[in-house]
Amino acid sequence: MIYGIGVDIVKVERVREIVEKWGERFLHRVFTDQEIRYCYGKKSPYLSLSVRFAAKEACVKAVGSKLPVSLKDIEVVNDIFGKPAIKTYGNVDIFFREHFLQEAHLSLSHEKDYGIACVVIESDNP
């Protein structure tokens, strides 16, 4: 059963401007160390940061506004084939367990100016 769906789109230039203005302070407030390493290992780090930011926002939308969320409690990881997935921590992880939420399916896409993410959360609780 689908618990929630969230979609978010982010302008890459906006993320670049924020990172240039706030630097490490912004990065470490929003992204995990693993996400930062992954993105800065890419040819276009701001594109990767943008889709990850969009994924976090899409996940928050899919959950609904039922809890305070630190964006670092939502991590975008990739499996060995490159498929992105959501890993949860803190309040988000507790919320998933308390509401019997099984999996957050994630799809990411980007083009030179924008990054977009869609999250579908499954529940086994009717």
Residue 67 has a pLDDT of 79
Cα–Cα distances in Å, from 102 out to 67, 98, 113? 18, 11, 33
Superfamily the domain 2-123 falls into: 4'-phosphopantetheinyl transferase domain (3.90.470.20)
Residue 54: DSSP 8-state: H
Residue among 61, 72, 87, 99 flagged as catalytic: 61
Residue 68 has a pLDDT of 85
The residue ranges of the chain whose pLDDT is under 50 are none
| 45 burial via Cβ count (<10 Å: 0-12, 13-18, 19+) | middle
Residue 61 annotated among the catalytic residues of the structure: yes
Residue among 42, 72, 110, 112 flagged as catalytic: 110
Q: Is 83 helix (H, G, I), strand (E, B) or coil?
A: coil
Residue 126 has a pLDDT of 63
Residue 22 has a pLDDT of 95
Query: Rounded distance, CA 65 to CA 85, Å?
Result: 21
Residue 43 annotated among the catalytic residues of the structure: no
Query: Rounded distance, CA 119 to CA 126, Å?
Result: 19
Residue 31 has a pLDDT of 98
